[in-house]
Structure 1
C-alpha cells in the first residue's frame, strides 16, 4: 500500500508499506539490497565527499562497486583507504575497460560479482542527499519484480566548492518511450533501477556503441513496457567543474551549445547508435514501442515532407517548448 504525504516544499513524498511493514522498517530489512555502481577516472579531488555522502545515507543496506579506468592520481589510494575502513564486503574495486565512461558503467553492470535488488548509478564528484537511496527504494518497491523500473530526479547544481548555482530544468511532461527517443530525461547520477531493468541492460551486445548509459536506461525501460518515475525534487548536489564529462544545461548558453551540437549532425550519430541497440533488443520492445520506432526511423531518412509526417506520427517530443522547437528545426534540416 502506498500513500502520498505533502512535504514542506509543497510537493509530495511517497510513504510505502510493504507486506505490512513501514518503509522505515523495510529500509532495515536485509532482503532489499542496493548496489551503488561508481566508475572513476582521476577523481581524487572530490571523491572523499561523495564517499562520505554514501556513509551518511538513511538507507543502510548497500554495497559500493567501483570500476576504475586506470586512474593516475590519488583515486585508487582513496578507494583502498575507504575499503580498509569499511571492509571489502562494503566496497569492491575492479579494473575498468578504459573505453570511456559509458562502456565502463555497462561493464560494471554486467559483472557477475555485482548482485543486489536495486542498482544506483553514481558519479565520482557529486554529493548525495542523505535520503537519496531511501527515496529511490521507496519508489521502486511499489513496482512488481517482473516490471523494469527506473527512479530518477532533478539535481541541485553546485560549483567546485559546493556553492549553489541553481537546479537542473524541471520537466513536467510524462516520461515515455516517445520522449526517450529524442531526449535523456535525467542524469545517470540520479538513477536507480531494479533487477528487471538490469536484466534488460544485460542483453546489450558487447560491441554496442554506448552514447550515454543514462539515456540508454531510459530508452530500454520505457520501450520495454517498464515504469519510469521522475522525482521533481533534487536528490544530490551535481558538481560543475572544468572536467565534467557532460555537465548541466540550466543556463541559456548551455542550451545554445547543445542546440549547436544537435544541428551539427552529432544528434544524428547518437540516434543512429541508439536505434541500432533498440533493433538488437527488438524482441523485448512492446508492440507500441515497435510502431513508434518504425515511424521514427522512417521519418529520419525520408524526404522533407514525408520526414515531418512520419516524425509527427511517431509522437516523439522533448520536455520543454524550446526543446520541441529545436526538434522541429532539426527535423526540417534532416538532423534527427
Structure 2
C-alpha cells in the first residue's frame, strides 16, 4: 500500500538566518512521502533566495510569494489551503524537527483528528536545553477536550499535525482569533479527539529577547508596574472575548461548553467595571478539572478565582501583591 502524503505547511518572513536548518530537518525526515508548501509574507532578507535554491533542488518543495503582507495567521491559512496531503503538519521557519517526527506522528495519530507533542527549548545559537515548552509546569491534554482550550493552550502550532478532513471546519481561520493553533486545537477537540506523543519532537528556538520580555519585570516605578499589569489584564480579557465569541459559533458545542462561554463573556465584557462574578466562579469551579486541565492541579483553583475577578478588584488587591 502506498504511504499517505504528508503536507508540511511553512510560513516565512525574514527567516534566512535559521531557515536552512529547519528545511534540512524536514527534508531528512525518515518518513519520505512529503510535500513542503512555503508561503513567504514579503521577506526582505535572503529568505526568498534560500527557498528558491531548495525548491530547484527538491521537486516536492512548492514556493508561493504573497503579493502583500498577510500576517502570520492568514499566511498559515494560505499555506494550509494549498496543501494536498492526507495529513497536514505546520512548521515555523526557525525550529528544528527530530528526524522521526512525521513517522511517529503518522503511526500514533490513529482515529484522532490531530496529534501534537511538547517542544524542547533551544536558544538563538542552537544550544539545546533540558527544558520543555509546556511540561512540567503544565499538562498536555488528549481526547475530546475542547473545554481545556477556552482560556489557555498547550498545542503549539509548530508541533501539530492533523487529518485533511479537519480542513472544512478550520478554514477560513476567523479574522479575530488570537492564534491559529488554539483555533485548530479547539475545533479538532470539538469535532473529534486529539492526542499527543510523550516524546517532544520539535526543537523550539527561543530568542534572548523573548526570554527577557516574558520573564524580567523591569518596572520603572510602582505606577509603571500597576499600569503594565492593568494593560496586560485588559489585553487578556479582550483576547478571551475574541476567542470565546468565535468558539460560540460552532454549532455542535455541548450545552456545558455553551454555558461556560456565555457566563464568561458576560463577565469579561464588563471586566473593567466589575468586581467579582459569583456565577462565573461557580461554573468555573464546577468544571475546573476540564477547563483548567492544562494547568497543574494546585493552580486550577487559582485560575478560577483570577478569572472571576474584574479589573477593579485587581486594582484593590494590587498593593497587596
Cα deviation digits, residues 15-74 of structure 1 (max 9, x gap): xxxxxxxxxxx7xx24x1111000100000000000100111011111000111100000
Distance 1:311 1:299 in 2: 12
Map of 2:185 onto structure 1 = 218
Map of 1:209 onto structure 2 = 176
Cα deviation digits, residues 294-328 of structure 1 (max 9, x gap): 45445545852222123334542142246535523
Contact 2:40–2:64 (CA<8 Å) still a contact in 1?
yes
Cα 1:243–1:118 change in 2 (3 A) is: farther
Measured on the aligned residues, the alpha-carbon RMSD in Å equals 3.0
Map of 1:319 onto structure 2 = 295
Superposed counterparts of 1:177-188, under 5 Å = 177-188=146-157
Count of residues in correspondence between the two structures: 289
| Structure 1 SS opposite 2:201 | strand
Map of 1:70 onto structure 2 = 42
Superposed counterparts of 1:221-260, under 5 Å = 221-224=188-191, 226-242=192-208
Superposed counterparts of 1:10-159, under 5 Å = 29-30=2-3, 32-87=4-59, 90-96=60-66, 98-110=69-81, 113-140=82-109, 142-143=110-111, 149-159=113-123
Distance 2:41 2:87 in 1: 24
Superposed counterparts of 1:159-178, under 5 Å = 159-165=123-129, 166-170=131-135, 171-172=138-139, 174-175=141-142, 176-178=145-147
**Post-superposition offset of 1:101:** 1.2
* 2:307 corresponds to 1:307: no
Distance 2:236 2:173 in 1: 21
Distance 2:102 2:72 in 1: 22
Cα deviation digits, residues 103-144 of structure 1 (max 9, x gap): 21123223xx4211101010000010001111111122x11x
* 2:301 corresponds to 1:330: no
Cα deviation digits, residues 191-222 of structure 1 (max 9, x gap): 001112222112545xx213111111111111
TM-score using structure 2 length: 0.79
**Post-superposition offset of 1:163:** 1.1
Larger Rg: 2
| Structure 2 SS opposite 1:232 | coil
| Structure 2 SS opposite 1:70 | coil
Give 5+ residue unaligned stretches, structure 2: 218-224, 271-275, 312-321
**Post-superposition offset of 1:330:** 2.5
Given candidates 254, 259, 268, the residue that maps to 2:237 is 268
- Is the strand fraction higher in 1 or 2? 1
Give 5+ residue unaligned stretches, structure 1: 1-25
| Structure 2 SS opposite 1:234 | coil
TM-score using structure 1 length: 0.76
